Structure 1
Amino acid sequence: MYIFEKNYKNMHKGTLSKKAEILIHIVYWFLMAYFTFIKNPIRARLYVPDLFFITYLIVFILTFYFHYFAVMKFVFKSFQWKRFFAGVLVSYLFFTALRWLIEQVITHILFQRINYTNTAFLNYMFDNLQYSSMPIILSSLLWFVIYFIRLLEYNQIILEENKSTEIKFLKAQINPHFIFNTLNNIYSMVYFQSDKSLTAIEKLSQIMRFTTYESQKEKIKLSDEIDYIKAYIELEQLRHQETAFVDLKTETENEFEEIPPYILSPLIENALKHGKTSTENPITIDLKVKDKKLIFKVLNDIGTQKKDKLGGIGLENLKKRLEIYYPQKHQIKFTNQNNQFTAELEIDLK
């Protein structure tokens, strides 16, 4: 029963509202009245509630809500079986004492009538054991229904919060990884006194603006991701002092289509980091978006430099984010064949 303790103490305020809970209670009492009277209109016409039916109804409702608001709250704050049985006993004693007060004392004073002529203690307590069971059981059942509605909503909130936290963590992994690589590139250009180092710094500044502002958004325009990719490629071209070792083609029906930031760039970063760069066999990048389907393909010759394990930080990160953003709506495939590495990504944007 640990789940009851944990979730009762941490129940989120954003779950089932008080108004909704009151509405459930109204529906509950309507159904009770329906099955008691309305379902059998003949019985309802013939039956005239007497004094002790009314008093029992009063005791029933008071016990119902005493058990609902006081006892159940006490029991499941820190669930233990002894607390549960103690709570049931308290509700039973509450029902019995209240019924005695109303039907044996108050009605005698007001109407000179009492319900029980045999007021032997054991007889009275045993008889009310049966009558008290109904409000206690029904109150417990309604409390459990509302509790589990709140529990389901609370668990959904926790899942959303965990999802948001994981996305933020994955984004935090991306930025340092990219900055580390880019600063190394610029360091090399400055070290060799390249006249393009200032241009590289300007490009880095442009990319950092994207990293600072756009990457914090849940989704961005596809055109912004493409601009980021182009700036990244230009930095690499400045470092290699070549301009034709990347062949980028884009064909999109709607440049305002929205995607999560950094959902395409890890495949390009991987190709530029581990691929063999040359103008004769350039890295080819092909992006198509048609009929709400994104198809992205990156192909590169495998370089001789030391490579990370397939996927590395960037691609493993990408896989996790795709699972979060597009569960069962994406496919990602890596192929290593004929000394060429191919990364293919398909996303259903519907």
Structure 2
Amino acid sequence: MKKSTVLIVLMHLVYWFSPLARFYFLSLPTSGAGIDFEISYFTYTSASLLSVVVFYLFYFFLFPRFLYKPQLIKFTAWSLVTMAAAVVLGLAFALVYVRYYYNPGVVRSIIGVGNMSMLLVRVVSAATAACVMKGFITWFTEIRYKEQLEKQNVATNLELLKAKINPHFLFNTLNNIDVLIEKDAATASVYLKKLSDILRFTLYESPSDTIPLKRELDYILQYIDLQKIRTSNPHFVTVDFGNANQDMEIAPMLFMPFIENAFKYSTNKKIDNAIVISIAAKANTVVFNCSNVYDANEQITGEGGLGMTIMTERLQLLYPGNHQLEINKTADRFIVNLTITLHDN
């Protein structure tokens, strides 16, 4: 049995044993004697049973069939017919009971204002309670369904976004190693091992919802090492991960798209500190900064790597309302500042 079904059954049980249900349509006479008490007791019992029947007629049939559609005219008509039939049926039960067991002369006491009002109040109360409970359960079920659907859409979108990240990185890295093979096969082998480690990361760890920040930093460093293949300037890239709590859990491959773009547009590899990357993490906040030089005559569009628009979408899916992304340009530098507030565990 599904958890939702169990919860609904428990809700019904709690409701029927609640003071509200006992007060409105399950209460029975508790004192008295003689024929009047016996007749009243039977009448109240019949009304209680009919109230339960009316409750579930509205709960399973009338509300889903007409009110939820909505078809208000049909719902009103069927409701009046159902409640009138319940009142008539309740009186009929009482009359049959009295004529069978007692003097027919007491029949008039059954068809009185008191019993009619009691039956009507109980039937209307049962119908109202059924609509309220069914409406609440329907509303709650729809919310849960929409949440599950949204999570599925988020997961699907994230997989599509990752698919746009990984091939681009792979192609760029293979091209870099291909250039190195012609110059130094042994060194190319070392870097090929780094590429193998990175591919292992992208295949087995990046699909995870979160990973330790240390793994993300290791991945970034390996990527930077591979990018350095094509420059002899050891100061081309400056990295600072010193102020980072590396045990924090974070979504994988958050920073790589910006770093990829930094390498793409920093074409002059003779410049010191052409790319400056820093990541600081403490408490539940991660701050990422990346800046790179660029040719002012070359327009930065984000195409070829993960576009800025796509990256913004991914951040919105992963950390809605919990991140701040600022992208600025100066005369010669492109600057990205990203602050993420991680979800509480």
The verdict on a shared fold, with TM-score over 0.5 as the criterion, is: yes
Work out whether 1:152 is the aligned partner of 2:134. Answer: no
Partner of 1:8: none
* Number of residue pairs the alignment of both structures matches: 328
Residues 19-75 of structure 1: CA distance to partner in whole angstroms, max 9, x if unpaired?
A: 443245236x4224357899xxxx988997543233222222222222222333444
Partner of 1:337: 330
Please tell me the residue identity of whatever aligns with 2:20. L
Q: 1:77: how far off?
A: 7.8
Would the aligned equivalents of 1:274 and 1:305 in 2 still touch at CA under 8 Å? no
Question: Which residues of structure 2 form unaligned runs of 5+?
Answer: 111-115
Q: TM-score, normalised by structure 2?
A: 0.78
Please tell me the residue identity of whatever aligns with 2:160. F
Partner of 2:290: 298
171, 178, 198: which one aligns with 2:189: 198
325, 336, 347: which one aligns with 2:340: 347
Q: Give SS of 1:256's match.
A: coil
5, 14, 25: which one aligns with 2:15: 25
Question: Which residues of structure 1 form unaligned runs of 5+?
Answer: 1-11, 120-124
Work out whether 1:84 is the aligned partner of 2:75. Answer: yes
Give the Cα separation in 2 of the matches to 1:193 and 1:238: 11
Change (3 A) 1:91 1:308: farther
Q: Please give the residue correspondences for 1:29-108 in structure 2 after superposition, counting only pairs within 5 Å.
A: 29-34=18-23, 49-75=40-66, 79-81=70-72, 84-85=75-76, 87-88=78-79, 91-92=82-83, 94-96=85-87, 98-99=89-90, 101-108=92-99
Q: 1:79: how far off?
A: 5.0
Change (3 A) 1:207 1:106: same
Give the Cα separation in 2 of the matches to 1:114 and 1:78: 49
Q: 1:347: how far off?
A: 1.9
Would the aligned equivalents of 1:254 and 1:289 in 2 still touch at CA under 8 Å? yes
Please tell me the residue identity of whatever aligns with 1:344. N
Q: 1:98: how far off?
A: 3.4
Q: Give SS of 2:337's match.
A: strand
Would the aligned equivalents of 1:104 and 1:115 in 2 still touch at CA under 8 Å? no
272, 280, 287: which one aligns with 1:288: 280
**RMSD between superposed Cα atoms in Å:** 3.8
Partner of 1:264: 255
Q: Give SS of 2:281's match.
A: strand
Which range moved further: 144-153 or 260-269? 144-153
Partner of 1:318: 311
Please tell me the residue identity of whatever aligns with 1:205. S
- Percent identity at matched positions? 26
Q: Give SS of 2:289's match.
A: strand
Which range moved further: 311-320 or 325-334? 311-320
Change (3 A) 1:108 1:342: same
Q: TM-score, normalised by structure 1?
A: 0.77
